[in-house]
């Protein structure tokens, strides 16, 4: 087995390598003056089972091209099997045609990864589970819920905890976590009554006096979570904490979260945190390296990955 990493999240790749007690392979990824990406594998990978660790996070197109070129370099170097390990799969939110004359970019990216030469894909908390079907190669979608569950159990009195979905679309994800910690479930029903009017948030469930935990897969601008926190507190919630797998946190999201009434935002390191995220007083990062490392080990040994979540 060999581990190869691009530039998107070297800290996570090092942590995964440490968990597996397996050093990262020597791989040079650099740019020419015109920003063309060049990859050179500096050790033999012929006949190897290679795992390429690369989140397609900001800048998404650069990191996606790095991934594709690394896979091509490995295929042409006679690697026996190439697994694309994507802690964060960019373009996942473009998984359907939301309007006329628009693309399904998640399918396009899946095709690019497949045709570049990947034999398998290992990813975490896809925005929509059906994206697994966009790949014509075996795809394992891991879940961040066990990592979050351990953190919640260490920090909360579960008898007073309520899991909350920030919108109707995330109910399945929130219900799965609520079941794991044996907590009740509430839902934020968000709707706009008519154009030009602000959104009305109705809370389905009694949150009065509860420590509410909002659960989502991606936090980008932070607006939905901050508004949901305000609505929950207005209904009598004792506190509101948010757990999200992928902290995209674009634009002014960090400032918005820092000045919000969220007690804490907990994200994983699937996307490498920026300095602003590290400095934010109410944003905390938990590591998915042991989860990803264990999944890689089981894949290499041809063992069950789904049993990690039984």
Domain count within the chain: 2
170 marked as part of a ligand binding site: no
193 falls within a domain? yes
Residue 277 sits in the same domain as residue 297: no
Residue 163 sits in the same domain as residue 107: no
SS3 content of the chain, % helix, strand, coil (to 5): 35, 25, 40
309 falls within a domain? no
220 marked as part of a ligand binding site: yes
Does 263 participate in catalysis according to the annotation? no
Q: Is the distance from CB of 43 to CB of 28 less than 8 angstroms?
A: no
Q: What is the pLDDT of residue 194?
A: 59
Residue 161 sits in the same domain as residue 251: yes
pLDDT tens digit at each of 310 positions of the chain = 999 999 999 999 999 999 999 999 999 999 999 999 999 999 999 999 999 999 999 999 999 999 999 999 999 999 999 999 999 999 999 999 988 999 999 999 999 999 999 999 999 999 998 999 999 999 999 999 999 999 999 998 899 999 999 988 899 999 999 999 999 999 998 775 655 554 767 899 999 999 999 999 999 999 889 999 999 999 999 999 999 999 999 989 999 999 999 999 999 999 999 999 999 999 999 999 999 999 999 999 999 999 998 7
296 falls within a domain? yes
54 marked as part of a ligand binding site: no
Closest CA to 53 of 124, 107, 148, 130: 124
247 falls within a domain? yes
Structural domain of residue 260, as residue ranges? 145-287
256 marked as part of a ligand binding site: no
- CATH number for the domain harbouring residue 186: 3.40.50.2020
Between the alpha carbon of residue 126 and those of residues 77, 123, 136, the distances in Å are 30, 7, 16
Half-sphere exposure of 304 (CA within 13 A, CB side): 5
Q: What is the pLDDT of residue 192?
A: 59
140 marked as part of a ligand binding site: no
Q: Annotate 138-190 with DSSP letters as a single string.
A: -EEEE-SHHHHHHHHHHHS-GGGEEEEESSGGGHHHHHHHHHHHT--EEEEEE
63 marked as part of a ligand binding site: no
Residue 149 sits in the same domain as residue 253: yes
34 marked as part of a ligand binding site: yes
Exactly one of 2, 80, 179, 190 is catalytic; which is it? 190
Between the alpha carbon of residue 229 and those of residues 208, 226, 245, 257, the distances in Å are 13, 5, 18, 11
Helix (H) or strand (E) holding 227: helix 223-234
State the Cα angle at 295 between 302 and 127, rounded to 5°.
120
96 marked as part of a ligand binding site: no
112 falls within a domain? yes
310 falls within a domain? no
Q: What is the pLDDT of residue 187?
A: 95
What is the spatial distance between Cα 121 and Cα 98, in angstroms, rounded to a whole number?
26
Query: How far is C-alpha 249 from the chain's CA centre?
Result: 12
pTM: 0.93
């Amino acid at each position: 087995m060999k581990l190869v990493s691009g530039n998107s999240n070297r800290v996570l790749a090092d942590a995964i390598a440490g968990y597996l007690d397996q050093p990262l392979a020597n791989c040079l990824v650099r740019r020419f003056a015109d920003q063309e990406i060049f990859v050179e594998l500096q050790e033999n990978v012929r006949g190897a089972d290679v795992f390429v660790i690369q989140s397609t996070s900001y800048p998404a197109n650069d990191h996606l091209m790095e991934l594709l070129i690394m896979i091509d370099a490995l295929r042409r170097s006679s690697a026996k099997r190439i697994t694309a390990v994507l802690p964060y799969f960019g373009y996942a939110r473009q998984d359907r045609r939301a309007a006329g004359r628009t693309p399904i970019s998640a399918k396009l990216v899946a095709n690019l990864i497949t045709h570049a030469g990947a034999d398998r894909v290992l990813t975490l908390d896809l925005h929509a589970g059906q994206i697994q079907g966009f790949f014509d190669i075996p795809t394992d979608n891991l879940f961040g819920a066990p990592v979050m569950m351990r953190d919640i159990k260490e920090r909360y009195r579960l008898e007073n905890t309520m899991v909350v979905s920030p919108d109707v679309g995330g109910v399945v994800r929130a219900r799965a976590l609520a079941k794991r910690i044996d907590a009740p479930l509430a839902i934020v029903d968000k709707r706009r009554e008519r154009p030009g009017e602000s959104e009305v948030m109705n809370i389905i469930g009694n949150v009065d006096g509860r420590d509410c935990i909002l659960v989502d897969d991606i936090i980008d601008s932070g607006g939905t979570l901050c508004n949901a926190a305000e609505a929950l507190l207005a209904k009598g919630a004792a506190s509101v904490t948010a757990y999200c797998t992928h902290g995209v946190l674009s634009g002014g999201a960090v400032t918005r979260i820092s000045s919000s009434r969220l007690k804490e935002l907990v994200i994983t390191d699937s996307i490498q945190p920026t300095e602003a995220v590290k400095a934010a007083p109410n944003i905390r990062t938990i590591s998915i390296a042991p989860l990803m490392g264990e999944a890689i080990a089981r894949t290499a040994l041809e063992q069950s990955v789904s049993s990690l979540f039984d």
